[in-house]
Amino acid sequence: MRVSTKWIGIFALLAMAPQAFGWGKEGHRLIAHLAMQHLNAKAKAGVAQLLAQGETLDSIASWADDVRNQRRETSTWHYINIPLATQPGDWKPFCPATGCVVGVIPELIAKVKDTSLTTTQRGEALKFLVHFVGDMHQPLHVGDNGDRGGNDVQVVYLNRPTNLHSLWDTPILATAEERDPQLKARLEKKAGIFERRRLAKGNLADWVWETKAASKQAAYGQLPAARPAILGDEYFAQASPVVQLQLRRGGVRLAQLLNDTLGK
Ligand SMILES: [Zn+2]
């Protein structure tokens, strides 16, 4: 494709846009919605006690993105940049002093549990926790190729210019839901015992390396070399099942963390 000056103009605008914030609202909502269905009675009551009247896990799932500009100290908590070629091992060298998604989750769990804190403080920790467990399952929030988790990789997806990071936040899921009207209900549906066991396996460190592997294989591994990378149905067909699996994993695992934290 010849890149016209119009495209260059659009990309210049995109380049100035701030770093994207993680799964779009729909991805975060789906993860929280699935988690809600897997909470035990005690965890459900604990969540209700910490959230404000009328709030639910799915209604607060994107709150951390809404406050990101006011709460500057939280801006690096949404991701960890692990270079694609890194072998699984210690993630700590990739976590900056300001914090990272996998580092902040245990701290938030401790705050949610800490009854010496006020309900408001614990509720806030819960809202951050719900969001960051979601972000940790977005492949471009973990894998990095020296391009700010794909933010600097220009792509044209189904004729629309965007970047690789944003593509995985929203448009792939949006296309999948557009093309399959039953998908939303399937993604929201409570997992059976076998699916649940399979998806919940492992711990935070396992999950972060698994997400990194997904970014290497499915997000970067299938990219053509040209920039902007022109992506269509073929890219969508391999990316969409990965997005769906990551959302299911995120939901089941979030429930497990909340049951361990509030449901015992
Ligand atoms: Zn986020």
Q: Give the pLDDT of residue 13.
A: 46
CA of 134 to the centre of ligand 1 (A): 8
Q: What is d(CA 60, CA 81) in angstroms, rounded to the nearest whole number? A: 25
Q: Which of 42, 34, 39, 2 is nearest to 156 (CA)?
A: 2
Task: Give domain limits for the chain.
Answer: 5-262
Q: Residues with beta carbon < 5 A to ion ligand 1?
A: 21-22, 78, 135
Per residue of the chain (264 residues), what is the pLDDT tens digit?
444 555 445 554 444 444 445 689 999 999 999 999 999 999 999 999 999 999 999 999 999 999 999 999 999 999 999 999 999 999 999 999 999 999 999 999 999 999 999 999 999 999 999 999 999 999 999 999 999 999 999 999 999 999 999 999 999 999 999 999 999 999 999 999 999 999 999 999 999 999 999 999 999 999 999 999 999 999 999 999 999 999 999 999 999 999 999 999
Q: Which of 160, 137, 161, 159 is nearest to 219 (CA)?
A: 137
CA of 69 to the centre of ligand 1 (A): 12
Q: Provide the terminal-to-terminal Cα distance of the chain, rounded to the nearest Å.
A: 58
Q: Give the pLDDT of residue 80.
A: 98
Q: What is d(CA 195, CA 141) in angstroms, rounded to the nearest whole number? A: 24
Burial letters for 208-244: b for 16+ Cβ neighbours within 10 Å, e otherwise? bbbbbbbbbebbbeebeeeebbebeeebbeebbebbb
* CATH for the stretch 5-262: 1.10.575.10
CA of 49 to the centre of ligand 1 (A): 24
CA of 171 to the centre of ligand 1 (A): 16
CA of 140 to the centre of ligand 1 (A): 11
User: What Cα–Cα distance (Å) separates residue 216 from each residue in 70, 115, 144, 235?
Assistant: 32, 41, 9, 14
CA of 200 to the centre of ligand 1 (A): 21
